[in-house]
Amino acid sequence: MSRIGKKPVELPSGVEASVSGQMIEVKGPKGTRSFKATDDVTLSVNDGTVSIEPRGKSKRARQQWGMSRTMVQNLVTGVTAGFKKELEIQGVGYRAQMQGNTLKLSLGLSHDVNFEVPEGITVTAAKPTEITIEGNDEQLVGQVAANIREWRKPEPYKGKGIRYKGEFIFRKEGKKK
């Protein structure tokens, strides 16, 4: 039995869910999101909750049960509160600034990096060393954060680079004489 899959997903006030076949659509104050479940699970909406049940007792059905429940929970969280990732930039001369729909990064390269922000994502650079990524799709928010971080990952000797807020970077000792 899936501990996660057994729990129904509660729909807060102001959020509506509709199921048509294997597709669930959730509408809320921050937009509309949808998810297509596999044929191994059954989705149903009952008086303010969404419940997911496996079809059969196969291993794949049990795997999809918990995963589908988590995906539906992420839809509900996305249309109510949204998702947020914060990045910190460390290094002399490293900075970020928004110019319209483009994030301009100065990362010690021979040129500035211009990162186009995808639709549905809001990127803000309140300080030159902090980047905030917000949106209602958890996967897309995480992917944008990973793409930005990929330009200059934190290195272990001086710790320079782009890191997630609160991330611990294992530091190495430099070469000794």
**Same-domain pairing of 95 and 159:** yes
- Mind listing the pLDDT tens digit for each residue in 96-121? 999 999 999 999 989 999 999 999 89
Q: What is the DSSP string of 66-99?
A: HHHHHHHHHHHHHHHT-EEEEEEEESTT-EEEEE
- Mind listing the pLDDT tens digit for each residue in 25-49? 999 998 899 999 888 999 999 888 9
Q: What value, to the nearest 5°, has the Cα angle with vertex 120 and ends 84 and 78? A: 50
**Same-domain pairing of 66 and 96:** no
**Segments forming the whole domain that contains residue 62:** 3-80
Mean pLDDT of all residues in 70-92: 93
**Same-domain pairing of 116 and 136:** yes
What is the pLDDT, as a whole number, of residue 3? 83
Q: How many domains does the chain have?
A: 2
Indicate the pLDDT class of residue 1, thresholds 50, 70 and 90: low
**Same-domain pairing of 76 and 87:** no
CATH number reported for the structural domain that contains residue 113 in this entry: 3.90.930.12
Name the pTM for this structure: 0.86
Which domain-ending residue is among 38, 61, 80?
Answer: 80
Which domain-ending residue is among 80, 108, 125?
Answer: 80
Residue 172: inside a domain: no
Report the chain's mean pLDDT, rounded to a whole number: 91
Indicate the pLDDT class of residue 5, thresholds 50, 70 and 90: confident
Residue 176: inside a domain: no
Least Cα distance to 71 among 118, 24, 29, 109 occurs for 24
Residue 134: inside a domain: yes
Q: What is the C-alpha to C-alpha distance for residues 140 and 119, in angstroms, rounded to an integer?
A: 10
Residue 88: inside a domain: yes
pLDDT at 90 over 90: yes
Residue 76: inside a domain: yes
